[in-house]
Structure 1
Amino acid sequence: MKPIMLQGHERAITQIKYNREGDLLFSSSKDNKPNVWFSLNGERLGTFNGHQGAVWCIDVDWTTTRFMSGAGDNTFKIWDCATGKEIGNISTASSVRTCMFSYSANMAVYTTDRAMKQPCEMFIIDTRLVDDSISNQAPILRIPIKDARISSILWDNVDESIISGHENGEITQWDLKTGRQINSVKEHSLLINDMQWNKDGTMFITASKDHTAKLFDAKDLLLLKTYKTERPVNSAAISPIFEHVVVGGGQDAMDVTTTSARVGKFDSRFFHMVFEEEFGRVKGHFGPINSVAFHPDGKSYSSGGEDGFIRVHTFDSSYFEYNFDY
């Protein structure tokens, strides 16, 4: 499995995301320019220029007409995908940590960090009227987060609720009509780095610093499966065609030099979704893997690392022929 190496960022990758068709791959990093690539051949299509700080989160709507990004420069921006021009800019009190379009893409959610005496807050905005005046518009809903800050977020497929992952390992479900908390579980003991849906939005997977990735039922936040590793998990994704899960992680870059290179374990690991058994590893990155994503057709996956590289892996035929004995 020979990967395509995408080198367009100067610093560590923070998030990668495919559009719905899978022909484009969007990436953000600790440099201030999100990129967009052709996923088939790795050609860079362009950059979104305008941020002044590390870009922590990105999302693209289902029609691939709008793209959004949140950054450490205390701004949340919405862009036109076709031209790369900025069409909306919202200034925030602290850095924007997570963002996501609703399923219909008529609304969007973003959250800010607890920093500089500012509380962590969640904002729901209307994205149908995006122009220069969006910065002055009041959000539809504004929810202050009293406890641990939000570190990852998901929008429910029927646009009725939002699921947030927190710094203390808690997962919370919010009702969008009232802005109140519906449900909350605490299955992780440390920061939740990433949450991703399965193909039909009935389950989601979380990746945590407590060395585990966990599978949850979306409706009642019931814990279904746990995938254990011996290092922090930064990202996890579910295959759209098989019962497979890929997790990526590794020790923080600052801790790696104090241990042997082997202990860092900068490889993507594949688990069977039901049996929780590891059946494969893919090496290649020179630092922790910060984000993984399956292609919507399930025939390839991508990983973005602390080394600033994105690796697009197309699966060999042996992957599709592999069967578990049961």
Structure 2
Amino acid sequence: MNIQGLALHGHMKPVTMIKFNREGDLLFSTAKEPNISVWYTKTGERLGVFNGHSAIAACDVNNYSTLLVTGGMDFKAKLWCVESGDELANIMLKSPARAVGFAHDDSKVMVSTSRKMGEKSAIQLYNLPFAVPKEDYIVQPVKTAFNPCAEFVSESDDITFAVWGPTNDTIYYSMFDGSVAILDVETMRTIRTQQPHEETINRIGFDCNYYTLITASKDKTARLLDSRDMSVIQTYKSDVPVNDAAISPCGDHVILGGGMEAQDVTTQGGQTSFEVKFYHKVHEKQLGQVRCHFGTINAVSFFPDGRGFASGAFDGLVKLHRFDENYEAAPGAKPVWSPESS
């Protein structure tokens, strides 16, 4: 199997997150700089930028690809019109954002913030102040101030990342101590907690059916968890800290991205190549790796069709990788089990 790579040059600072829209024709990328880039994945063309932060940690796009939400390290979250690039709303936060996400019906926005400047880590929910825009509908900017409609404050630890659960009833979040927890949205209380890692979890994400959850940890492993009780199903071992991980939407493949932190490279030795590692989801075996960056990999994501992936790294590059026609014959390309076969 050959993998065709395409480098996207648009960031001068380390890439922090990448996000496909539902159809996979658009890719949004954020970095430790003011600009969010949007790319046309078929050609690699940069369609535009959203400018309004000082440095950005996370982003999410809604189901219709009409709205974009971003979370900044500048104590702000912002809503954008994807079509026009206009800033629609500015949400002032008490501490830097770590994660953002639209609810499944696009009715709410979730913002997770870090513990800093004397403020505790929190997850806040905001109602959208307008009807969810469909295709080709441009929303007008909102002048009123945004206040959270619900809030959860972590008394004990720092929340590192958060995502909506299988429905709008739950939010899953990870913590600095290696724990994962489920938050009940109605009561804004934690209903279950497990600790699958001994060190910090950098990011978490679901498979496309929300049956399993994958964690990426500083302890050099990623773990596949049952989304119901968060018991560990599989463990994928790496030789470097794992910053992000993703589950294929169509095959039994898992990808991991990571590397030594920048401040550790000079003190602990020279890691000169940084690669995305492929694992068999069921058998845990590493199947291969793709050397694609010159800095620590901070973000990985599969195309929604499963026929490729994207990566973003400390070197400021975003790379698109597409599998050729021989992918179907690769180990793990055909899942051992799928919901359709049960």
Question: What is the TM-score of this pair, normalised by structure 1?
Answer: 0.95
Partner deviation per Cα, 1:154-177 (whole Å, 9 max, x = no partner): 101321100001111110101111
Q: Percent identity at matched positions?
A: 35
Alignment of 1:1-326 (within 5 A): 1-51=3-53, 53-129=54-130, 131-135=141-145, 137-261=146-270, 263=271, 265-323=273-331
| CA distance, structure 2, for counterparts of residue 149 and residue 186 of structure 1 | 14
Per-residue deviation, residues 215-237 of structure 1 (Å, max 9, x unmatched): 11112212111101111000100
For the 8 Å contact 1:264–1:288, the answer to whether it is kept is no
Structure 2: gaps of 5 or more residues:
132-140, 337-342
User: SS where residue 2 of structure 1 aligns?
Assistant: strand
Is the 1:102–1:157 contact (alpha carbons within 8 Å) kept by the matching residues of 2? no
Counterpart Cα distance in 2 of 1:93 and 1:128: 21
Offset of 1:320 from its aligned partner? Answer: 2.2
Check whether the contact 1:103–1:156 (CA below 8 A) recurs between aligned residues: no
Q: In the alignment, is the contact (CA less than 8 A) between 2:98 and 2:113 conserved in 1? A: yes
Q: Residues 31-79 of structure 1: CA distance to partner in whole angstroms, max 9, x if unpaired? A: 111110001111000000111x210010011111100001111111000
Q: Distance in 2 between matches of 1:143 and 1:133?
A: 26
CA distance in 1, matches of 2:51, 2:74: 13
Q: Return the offset for 1:316.
A: 2.5
**1:106-129, CA deviations, whole angstroms, 9 ceiling, x for partnerless residues?**
111101211111111210111243
Matched residue pairs, number? 322
CA contact (8 A) 2:217 2:242 kept: yes
Instruction: Give 1:119's aligned amino acid.
Output: K
1:90 and 1:134 in contact (8 A); partners too: no
CA distance in 1 between counterparts of 2:161 and 2:144 reads: 24
C-alpha change, 1:134 and 1:68, in structure 2 (3 Å) is farther
2:256–2:277 CA contact under 8 A, matched in 1: yes
Structure 1 residue matching 2:327: 3-state secondary structure: helix
Structure 1 CA distance, aligned partners of 2:273 and 2:202?
18
Instruction: Give the secondary structure class of the aligned counterpart of 1:153.
Output: strand
Structure 1's unaligned 5+ residue stretches are none
Deviation at 1:260, TM superposition (A): 4.3
Deviation at 1:213, TM superposition (A): 0.5
Amino acid at match of 1:38: Y
Give the residue type in structure 1 aligned to 2:48.
Answer: G
Alignment deviations for residues 253-289 of structure 1 (CA, whole Å, 9 cap, x no partner): 121133444x455100000000000011000200110
What secondary structure is seen at the aligned counterpart in 2 of 1:319?
helix
Secondary structure class of the residue paired with 1:117: coil
| Runs of at least 4 residues off by over 4 Å | none
Counterpart of 2:138 in structure 1 is none
Describe the SS at the equivalent of 1:257: helix
Instruction: Give the superposed CA RMSD.
Output: 1.5
One-letter amino acid of the counterpart of residue 77, structure 1 = K
Contact 1:213 1:236 in 2 (8 A): yes
What's the TM-score, normalizing by structure 2?
A: 0.91
Task: Determine the C-alpha separation between the residues in 2 that align with 1:31 and 1:120.
Answer: 23
Distance in 2 (CA, whole Å) between partners of 1:173 and 1:294 is 24
Provide the rounded CA distance (Å) in 2 between the counterparts of 1:231 and 1:213. Answer: 11
